[in-house]
Structure 1
Amino acid sequence: MPIDQTASTHRALEADVDSDRIALGEEIRKLRKARAKTLADIAAATGRSISFISQLERGRAEIPISDLKRIAFSLGVPMDWFFPSKEQPPEEVGRIVRSGSRRRLGPATGGLTEESLSPDVGGEFEMFLATIKPGTTFEAPTTRGTVEEGFVVSGQLSIWMGDHQFDVKTGDSFRVYDEPYRWENPGESETVLVWVIAPPTF
């Protein structure tokens, strides 16, 4: 390969690396703020200094995978949250979420899987897709200062709001307005819901 072509390739690679570093820093910052975490919280989770985390969020520092795992754990997302598909056209970023590119919220444990349907974090509300296995339960025993709405795409759900129980099924929707609630999938098949929360808690 000619010398000038090699130099050009190296410059392009460095520009790509710089772009990735900046994008990662922005993603960490947006998610940290959406989770109401401070720089000190992330520094404590990684054993790094606040100054280093600040530099990282501005795309001016490299981070080892081990530290990124700790950040992901602290923010309640899987590692792949920070590595969205590069196949998405630039004009779709922040606007469109393709079905094969949804990012998972938290670990897929306890019979509940949640995938973000919002193109980005940090907006006025969060929308996600919840897939609930039969027999799975969840309880929010205290108020969270949120308004939450759900639409049952398929399956059924028993939901308790205050002293009332409601049974909803495919095509039904509901709202929980800043009150304790719990739910259960009482059926024999998965329940799929579109869930919206304002302000975001994920």
Structure 2
Amino acid sequence: MQHSRPEGPDTLGADLRALRKSRGLTLSDLGDRLGRSVGWLSQVERDISEPSITDLRHIAAALDVSVSMLFRHEAAPAHEAGYVVRRHARRTIGSHVAGLIEELLSPDLTDDFEMVHSTFQPHSRITDTVIRPTQEVGYIVEGRLDIEIAGTTHHLDPGDSFRIRGEPFRWSNPHDTPAVAIWVIAPPVY
């Protein structure tokens, strides 16, 4: 299946629509959560209206993403928009909890998946178990990472990969160096 290129390069509206749909929300559902009209939300998703900073904070909370995820980022040159993400132009995503830094490698959130560059700081860990309705594959680029999937802990080294299919998981980096992983998540959750 071939996807057409997004109408605008990495638009806020397209990302909001993708996030809303990935959470199974209608415009009406999100409007109710925000106390805003369906018409206004529709205009925001079509990049006709620009939300205020306060609106972005409320939208981020309703969609369970960081506010920084919704801020505009450095635009790609026209010939790269929707195709290429340069290292210096990656968007930071996630909540920055437990020593995890996540950057979006995908040009936007309009695909059926997202690709994330994850850096796990030394001696960091997530204490709460994560369960999400996704399929995820990770590849360890550098460092070492421990990942517990469905109650079984796996010790991963560079070149190792793993898969999670909706199972409960958590991770830790008990080592003295950062661990870096490339993580593919479907459907997108950020």
Name the TM tier (shorter chain). Answer: 0.7 to 0.9
Matching residue within 168, 172, 188 for 2:156: 168
Give me the whole-angstrom Cα distance separating, in 1, the residues matched to 2:12 and 2:162: 36
Confirm or deny that 1:83 pairs with 2:72.
Answer: yes
Q: 1:94 — aligned with what?
A: 82
Letter of the 1:90 counterpart: A
**Structure 2 portions without partners, runs of 5+:** 1-7
Letter of the 1:151 counterpart: Y
Q: 1:61 — aligned with what?
A: 49
The secondary structure found in structure 2 opposite 1:130 is strand
**1:15-47 alpha-carbon deviations (Å, 9 max, x no partner):** xxxx89xx4433322332234333234324433
Q: 2:24 — aligned with what?
A: 36
TM-score with structure 1 setting the length: 0.76
Give me the whole-angstrom Cα distance separating, in 2, the residues matched to 1:27 and 1:164: 35
Give me the whole-angstrom Cα distance separating, in 2, the residues matched to 1:37 and 1:198: 17
Give me the whole-angstrom Cα distance separating, in 2, the residues matched to 1:44 and 1:131: 36
Letter of the 1:84 counterpart: H
Confirm or deny that 1:72 pairs with 2:60.
Answer: yes
Aligned-residue sequence identity (percent) comes to 40
Q: 2:177 — aligned with what?
A: 189
| Deviation at residue 77 of structure 1 after TM alignment | 3.0
* Divergent runs of 4+, >4 A: none
The secondary structure found in structure 1 opposite 2:98 is coil
User: Greater relative contact order: 1 or 2 (C-alpha under 8 angstroms, separation 6 or more)?
Assistant: 2
Letter of the 1:98 counterpart: R
| Deviation at residue 97 of structure 1 after TM alignment | 0.8
Give me the whole-angstrom Cα distance separating, in 2, the residues matched to 1:199 and 1:134: 29
Q: 2:5 — aligned with what?
A: none
Matching residue within 15, 20, 29 for 1:27: 15
The secondary structure found in structure 2 opposite 1:90 is coil
| Deviation at residue 173 of structure 1 after TM alignment | 1.6
Give me the whole-angstrom Cα distance separating, in 1, the residues matched to 2:49 and 2:165: 42
TM-score with structure 2 setting the length: 0.80
Letter of the 1:85 counterpart: E
The secondary structure found in structure 1 opposite 2:14 is helix
Confirm or deny that 1:180 pairs with 2:168.
Answer: yes
- Tell me if structure 2 keeps the 8 A contact 1:81–1:104: no
- CA spacing shift, 1:191–1:179, aligned 2, 3 Å: same
Higher helix content, 1 or 2: 1
Matching residue within 102, 108, 111 for 1:114: 102
Give me the whole-angstrom Cα distance separating, in 1, the residues matched to 2:113 and 2:45: 23
- Tell me if structure 2 keeps the 8 A contact 1:69–1:79: no
Q: 1:14 — aligned with what?
A: none
- Tell me if structure 1 keeps the 8 A contact 2:15–2:108: no
Give me the whole-angstrom Cα distance separating, in 1, the residues matched to 2:107 and 2:50: 25
**Structure 1 portions without partners, runs of 5+:** 1-18
RMSD: 2.5
